[in-house]
Chains A and B, each alone.
Chain A
Amino acid sequence: AQKITQTQPGMFVQEKEAVTLDCTYDTSDPSYGLFWYKQPSSGEMIFLIYQGSYDQQNATEGRYSLNFQKARKSANLVISASQLGDSAMYFCAMRELSNTDKLIFGTGTRLQVFP
């Protein structure tokens, strides 16, 4: 069954440091996509980065990069040079592409950036 796991309920990082948010997944579909979203206190969902299961290189978007380890079924988000505005909930999500079109989310990690 399709499953997403985020084992870190909360993380702290000092401003300007890098932080890694963990995400593991499980699926029997050979074709899938992995997403990361940011949810600030306002509640809006902000798309950060996408990784396809057949992509050869790790995805990067500005200060965000996705450490994709297919054999380990992990898709960790790395935020470099953290900023105070990065404080938010972060959700990992997966979409199966061959079978259903379900897109499910992990339970999230609350990141707090301190000065």
Chain B
Amino acid sequence: SQTIHQWPATLVQPVGSPLSLECTVEGTSNPNLYWYRQAAGRGLQLLFYSVGIGQISSEVPQNLSASRPQDRQFILSSKKLLLSDSGFYLCAWTRGRGTGELFFGEGSRLTVL
């Protein structure tokens, strides 16, 4: 069966520090991968999505970046965090070019102080 994991689950970082959130999918190949951010009490904002290794589409210009070094690995990074980067980050995957649902990771709660 397919599983998705992201870590760390909780992170408290000072302004200006770097960030790395990692997401891996098991039990499938060539998934579409997504990073979403959810501010407190708000909806999900699509940040990045990827349909293959090294293929990253950015939806919102900001100081975050994403990489997909392997088929089932998706990494969200920042060189210098801002206060506004605080939020709940969700990684998700779906089968490529199909009608399948989106499967979500457990989420990573980031607080920037």
Given A101-B49, A107-B42, A107-B43, A45-B90 contact (CB < 8 Å): yes
| Contact digits for A22-34, partner B, Cβ 8 Å, 1 yes 0 no | 0000000000010
Contact-size category for A: 20 to 34
Q: Is the interface of B mostly helix, strand, loop or mixed?
A: strand
- Report the Cα distance A72→B32, complex, angstroms: 29
Q: Select from chain B the residue with minimum beta-carbon distance to A105.
A: B44
Give A51 to B25 CA distance when docked, in angstroms. Answer: 25
Q: Which residues of B contact A35 (CB under 8 A)?
A: 101-102
Docked-complex contact A91 and B44, CB < 8 angstroms: yes
A106 to B92, CA, bound (A): 16
B108 to chain A, nearest CB (A): 10
CB <8 Å contact, B102 and A93: yes
User: Between A and B, how many residue pairs show CB distances below 8 Å?
Assistant: 61
Q: In the complex, what's the smallest C-beta–C-beta distance from B28 to chain A, in angstroms?
A: 15
* Distance in angstroms between the alpha carbons of A105 and B46 in the assembled complex: 8
Q: Which residues of B contact A33 (CB under 8 A)?
A: 99
Chain A residue numbers with a CB within 8 Å of B94 are 95, 101, 103
In the assembled complex, the CB of B38 is this many whole angstroms from the nearest CB of chain A, namely 8
**In contact, A44 and B102 (Cβ under 8 angstroms):** no
Docked-complex contact B101 and A106, CB < 8 angstroms: no
B-facing residues in A40-86 (Cβ within 8 Å): 43-45, 47, 50, 52
Given A106-B43, A107-B42, are A47 and B97 also a contact pair (CB < 8 Å)? no
Question: Given B32, B46, B51, which contacts A104 in the complex, CB threshold below 8 Å?
Answer: B46
Give the 7 A-B residue pairs with the shortest CB-CB distance, closest first: A107-B43, A45-B104, A105-B44, A47-B101, A108-B43, A33-B99, A43-B107
Task: List B residues at the A interface (Cβ < 8 Å).
Answer: 32, 34, 36, 42-46, 49, 51, 57, 59, 88, 90, 92, 94, 96-99, 101-104, 106-107, 109
